[in-house]
Structures are given as structure tokens and as C-alpha cells.
Structure 1
Amino acid sequence: MRWITVVLLTLLVMLQYRLWFGKHSFPDYLAMQEEVAAQRAQNANLTQRNDLLKADINDLKIGLEAMEERARNELGLIKTGETFYRILPNDQ
């Protein structure tokens, strides 16, 4: 009877060791959960960025106003007959 108890206790210790320190252990599980949470946050940011890009694409496809706005802001272009005023901040 004593041998059975020793064998069962040894088996229990081996299983506990594997659970806490072995491959695919509980600390590995917790680390993987943190990686999943970080990846989900990154995916949410990328989804938001993609939605903004899709909105920009739709604006560019629909009308000339978005193209004109981009040309003015990014390239500094002006239409014929328009006057461009640049307001510089005060140095003081």
C-alpha cells in the first residue's frame, strides 16, 4: 500500500512540475494572453487607420473638393484667380 502512495505522490509532483515549469506551462499561458491582448490593441489601431484611409479614398472618388483640398494642403497649389496669403506667427 505504501508503494502505491509513493508512486501516486511522485506522479502528482511530476504533473505539477510540468504544469508550472514545463513546456506550455501556466506562465507560458499568461505570457501568451498578454501577447494576444497587445495584438488585439494593435489590430484595433490598424482597423481604425484603415477606416480613415477608406474614407479618404471614397472622398477622392466622389468629388473634386477632396482633391483640391489635398492639393492645397500638401502641395501648396492655388487656383487661377485666387490670392494666397501666408500669415506668419509673431516672433515675440
Structure 2
Amino acid sequence: MKVISIILVAFLLAIQAQLWLGKGGLPRGVHLRAVLTQTQAENEQARVRNAQLEAELRDLREGLEMVEEKARFELGMIKPDEIFVQVRR
């Protein structure tokens, strides 16, 4: 009975050693959590930067459209491939 108890305790210690010190053990889990936290922070920064760039792009597009519209109506701008037709009432 004592031999079986010793063998079971040895197996338990071996399993615990793998859990705490092994390849997929606790130190690796802690390292992976740190990497995950850092990657999530970088992703959040990238999301914020992307949102800023999208807003700038939207402003530029709308701004150019407004400039073109103003040039067409107030200054009579015509693109090279367009034909200007003026209708008077």
C-alpha cells in the first residue's frame, strides 16, 4: 500500500512540475498574456489612428466636392470632357 502511495505522489509531483515549469506551463501563460495585452493596446491605437484618417479623408472628399461645386456655379468651371449648356428662362 505504501509503494502505491509513493508512486501516486510521484505521478502527482510530475504532473505539477509540468504544469508549473513545462513547455505549456504557467510561465508561458503569463508571457502570452503580456503579449496579448500589448497587442491589444497596439490594435486600439491603430483603430484610433484609422478613425482619424477616415475622418480626414471624409473631410477632404467633402471639401473637394464643395470646392468643385462652388467653382462650377460661381466661376463656370467646365471639365475637359464636358459640354456646357446654359438654359435661360
TM-score scaled to structure 2, two decimals? 0.69
Residues in 2 aligned to 1:8 and 1:38: alpha-carbon distance in whole angstroms: 41
Structure-to-structure mapping, 1:17-56, within 5 angstroms: 17-56=17-56
1:16 is aligned to 16
Instruction: Give deviations 1:51-78, integer Å, cap 9, x for gaps.
Output: 000001101111139x9xxxxxxxxxxx
Q: AA paired with 1:58? A: R
Q: How far, CA to CA, are the matches of 1:64 and 1:41 in structure 2?
A: 35
> Aligned partners of 2:2, 2:27: CA distance in 1, in Å?
34
What SS is found at the alignment partner of 1:63? Answer: helix
Amino acid at match of 1:2: K
Report % sequence identity: 32
Structure 1: 4+ residue segments shifted above 2 A = none
Measure how far apart 1:20 and its partner are.
Answer: 1.1
Superposed, 1:67-86 pairs within 5 Å as none
User: Corresponding residue for 2:74?
Assistant: none
Which amino acid is the alignment partner of residue 29 of structure 1?
Answer: G
Amino acid at match of 2:44: A
1:3 maps to which residue? 3
In the other structure, the counterpart of 1:82 is none
Q: How many residues align?
A: 66
Unaligned runs of 5+ in 2: 68-89
Provide structure 1 residue ranges, at least 5 long, that are not aligned to the other structure: 68-92
SS in 1 for 2:14: helix
Q: Deviations over 1:14-67 (max 9, x none)?
A: 0111011111101110111010000010001000000000001101111139x9
